[in-house]
Amino acid sequence: MAVVEPQLRDGQIAARIDRLPLTNIQWRLSFITQLLWGVVISLDGMEQVLYPFVWAPKHYFSPLQYSLLVGFQVGGGVLIGEYLLGFVADRYGRKKVMIASCLIVSLLFWPTAFLTNWWLLMLFFTAGSLGIGGVLATNVVYMAEMAPPQVRGRVMQGTQVLAGFLVVLLAVVPALFLIPTHYKAYVFLLCAIPVVVVLPFLIFGLPESPRWLEARGRRVEAERILSDIEAKIVRKHGALPPIDLNRHQVLVTEKVPTREIFTGRYRGQTILLLICWVLGYAGVDYGVSSYSTVYLVANGMSAHEVFLAAAISGFAGAILAPLIGSILGERVERKTLVLFSGIICALGALGYFFFPKSFMMIAIAGALLIAARMAWVFNMYNYTAAAYPTRLRSVGTGWTDGVGHIGAVFGPVVAGVFYASTASTNHIGWFVWCVIPGSLLPSFLVYKWGMRQREAVLEEVAP
């Protein structure tokens, strides 16, 4: 194939995607990507489920080694995966990376059911997390590229209800019945679902992104896929409105200009997102989750009580957050939703601090915390994907969200130090770490200096 030199063209494919009315086609494609996200992310942090009930009672390794294991699994492996597979997705396609990511997670996580050696657990959990990184670098990017701007928030957050529901359904509910006695079956179950359930949908139900194909200069393939989608919509909904080429200028290139995210107009956004993702992952996300189970067990809760409370609060929170976001749609700026989510996260954490021995209050505070945390993460995902142009959208998402996982590396370690050093005051240091630098600060930074994206055409907000 001849090399396509970088050149500015009318983005006819992008304009035709954005003129489409909202139909079951956009919903279906978005649901498939969120099926992938929910199933794969249910394996993320598996060691946090196993450690308190399987490894810790038999003293296979120390709390510090556990913190490092969490950090490298949720941080190091995901970081490398987002960058490498994000680059591959911008160079060779979104669909290929989603399929590869699904296989990587399943094939490399299942051996951990047989392992108790810390070094081997570190190896397989970190390597398997490359696939998690690949999913994070592509699923939200694909949704953003396929959804018209006026309904982008509604579609993305509406289908993220499925993602949140699946994480709780798969990661928490089986644990109620299988942990600790049948923990191997728990690992096998979670590793089998991506291949058995998700992979067929990706292979047979998900076309490549026409927007990405156009940005790579592959107009014939983009035309074939989009014409098929348009024909189905016309048969059901009638003639389509005219396209607006003035708002859809596309820089076509076969190369992935990675350096562009660190120069010119994107440098400021990249720095902002790096700071906020690092702080958020270190605090509100993995800083909280790495010790929340340990905290509840230390306050007298059994495995059954912990996972039952997690199931109740998880289902309520995971469904509530994206559902509200979908209803709001594009009426509220994403950066505003990030700010309010961060504030509510802090309120949920206070419930854990003041009522650690009350099952009912933990369930209520947990629902509040999980709802706000998922709203924060999903809105940050959606914001990040729209902050970069199609030619480097996956690599931009991979660099910012991926490098942000450095926070998931040191966050659990720092959280562990604060957790242990302030044990006499109900671990107040852990709460302060998660709430102030880990939640309120990054939320305010995005709100203050983030870009406006409400109802914005992707080619305008990130040309």
3-state SS, the chain, equals CCCCCCEEEECHHHHHHHHCCCCHHHHHHHHHHHHHHHHHHCCCCHHHHHHHHHHHHHCCCCHHHHHHHHHHHHHHHHHHHHHHHHHHHHHHCHHHHHHHHHHHHHHHHHHHHHCCCHHHHHHHHHHHHHHHHHHHHHHHHHHHHHCCHHHHHHHHHHHHHHHHHHHHHHHCHHHHHHCCCCHHHHHHHHHHHHHHHHHHHHHHHCCCCHHHHHHCCCHHHHHHHHHHHHHHHHHHHCCCCCCCHHHCEEEECCCCCHHHHHCHHHHHHHHHHHHHHHHHHHHHHHHHHHHHHHHHHHCCCCHHHHHHHHHHHHHHHHHHHHHHHHHHCCCCCHHHHHHHHHHHHHHHHHHHHHCCCCHHHHHHHHHHHHHHHHHHHHHHHHHHHHCCCHHHHHHHHHHHHHHHCHHHHHHHHHHHHHHHHCHHHCCHHHHHHHHHHHHHHHHHHHHHHCCCCCCCCHHHHCC
pLDDT of amino acid 1 = 40
In sign, the C-alpha dihedral spanning 321, 322, 327, 330 is: positive
| Ordered per-residue pLDDT tens for the chain, 463 residues | 444 445 546 689 999 999 999 999 999 999 999 999 999 999 998 998 899 889 999 989 988 898 889 878 888 899 899 989 999 999 999 999 999 999 999 999 999 999 999 999 999 999 999 999 999 999 999 999 999 998 998 999 899 889 988 988 999 899 989 999 999 999 999 999 999 999 999 999 999 999 999 999 899 999 999 999 999 999 999 999 988 887 777 777 777 888 899 988 899 999 999 999 999 999 988 889 888 988 998 999 988 898 898 888 988 888 888 888 888 888 899 999 999 999 999 999 999 999 999 999 999 998 989 889 989 999 999 999 999 999 899 999 999 998 898 888 888 889 989 999 999 999 999 999 999 999 999 999 999 999 999 888 898 888 7
pLDDT of amino acid 68 = 85
pLDDT of amino acid 293 = 87
CA 233: distance to chain centroid?
A: 30
369 vs 346: CA distance, rounded Å: 8
* List of residues 6+ apart from 329 with CB closer than 8 A: 151, 153, 154, 157
pLDDT of amino acid 9 = 62
263 vs 245: CA distance, rounded Å: 27
180 vs 59: CA distance, rounded Å: 15
176 vs 183: CA distance, rounded Å: 11
52 vs 351: CA distance, rounded Å: 22
212 vs 172: CA distance, rounded Å: 36
Task: Give the closest residue to 419 by CA, choosing from 428, 410, 408, 411.
Answer: 428
199-240 pLDDT per residue, tens = 999 999 999 999 999 999 899 999 999 999 999 999 999 999
Q: How far is CA 119 from CA 68, 345, 408, in A?
A: 11, 34, 19
- Joined together, the tokens standing for residue 202 give 């990706």
pLDDT of amino acid 2 = 43
pLDDT of amino acid 193 = 97
Report yes or no: 304 and 180 within 8 Å, Cβ to Cβ.
no
pLDDT of amino acid 6 = 52
CA 295-297-303 angle, to 5 degrees, is: 135
Task: Give the closest residue to 395 by CA, choosing from 85, 128, 152.
Answer: 85
Using left for φ > 0, alpha for ψ between -120 and 50, and beta otherwise, residue 455 falls in left
pLDDT of amino acid 8 = 47
pLDDT of amino acid 327 = 87
454 vs 325: CA distance, rounded Å: 13
* List of residues 6+ apart from 327 with CB closer than 8 A: 154
141 vs 259: CA distance, rounded Å: 19
Written as one letter, the residue type at 249 is Q
Report yes or no: 356 and 426 within 8 Å, Cβ to Cβ.
yes
Written as one letter, the residue type at 262 is F
6-27 pLDDT per residue, tens = 554 668 999 999 999 999 999 9
* CATH code that applies to domain 7-461: 1.20.1250.20
User: What residue segments make up the domains of the chain, in order of their start?
Assistant: 7-461
pLDDT of amino acid 11 = 82
Q: How far is CA 245 from CA 10, 15, 72, 261, in A?
A: 6, 6, 45, 25
